Structure 1
Amino acid sequence: MADSFEKRPLDFSYLIDMVGNEPLFLIELIDTFLVQIPAFITEIDKALIAGNRVKISNYAHKIKPTFTYIGRNDIKDFVHQIENQVKNDFSIKQISLDVEKLKLILAEVLLQLEQEKLRLSASL
């Protein structure tokens, strides 16, 4: 599935519509995403190890809106798929495989967020 998530540019138009085109504020939001995304993935990993389906689902649910804000509804849908796997009692092994795919996808997204932050910083 990760193969279908080719490198695509992030789209900040939704976020800009919500908060305005204020580079400093956008940088703050990007910083929040750069901290929260890895933190949520770490918590999902811990929950997978513990077999705690409730926590896996909760953290998957919490991370989803981020992808709407940055124009990657395809990733939001993939996270929703993982959330549904948990709720529908898919094996922890299958869920873990999809979380690993998600991590590969997110590595690229985090890089793109860093690049956007640099671009915004240069415009100040």
Structure 2
Amino acid sequence: MMTDHHHQPLDFSYLIEMVGDDPIFLADFFKTFVDHIPVYLAEMENAFANGNWSKVSHCAHKMKPTFSYIGRNDVKQLVEAIEKHAQNNIGPDKIQSDIEKLKLICADICTQLEQEKLKLSAKQ
């Protein structure tokens, strides 16, 4: 069992500041996140497996802003590290372990967002 800091409460204050406290919009945002993140991760893993560094970097770049919206700057920094390492083609082992770490964290975040969605639908 990983005693990593990957299970952290999410913070939606930035998101709410940007879009307002609208349960329908928020639920929609969470759904989009939950739907898209696994796709981006799979794309990134694929690119990594093919040694396509610019694509790994591009995938990381696409994912990066999403984590600001949910108050997980630690994850944003992890994604930034993947992006930079892939850009400069350094430390494939590090990139691989960072991608693995990111997958665990994202699985966790998706679970948290599913729970938030349930809370929101109770409010509607």
Shorter-chain TM range is over 0.9
Shift of 1:13: 0.7
| Number of aligned positions between the proteins | 123
Mind listing any 5+ residue stretches in structure 2 that lack a counterpart? none
How many percent identity over aligned positions? 50
Q: TM-score, normalised by structure 2?
A: 0.93
Corresponding residue for 2:29?
29
Gaps of 5+ in 1: none
SS at match of 1:18: helix
- Deviation of the 1:3 alpha carbon: 4.7
In the alignment, which residue of structure 1 is the partner of 2:81? 81
CA RMSD, Structure 1 to Structure 2 (Å): 1.3
Regions of 4+ moved over 4 Å = none
Which SS does the other structure have where 2:8 is aligned? Answer: coil
CA contact (8 A) 2:68 2:76 kept: yes
Aligned to 1:107: 107
The 3-state SS of whatever aligns with 1:66 is helix
How many Å apart are 1:94 and its aligned residue?
A: 2.5
Q: The residue matched to 1:89 in structure 2 has which SS?
A: coil
Q: What is the CA-CA distance between 1:57 and the residue it aligns to? A: 0.3
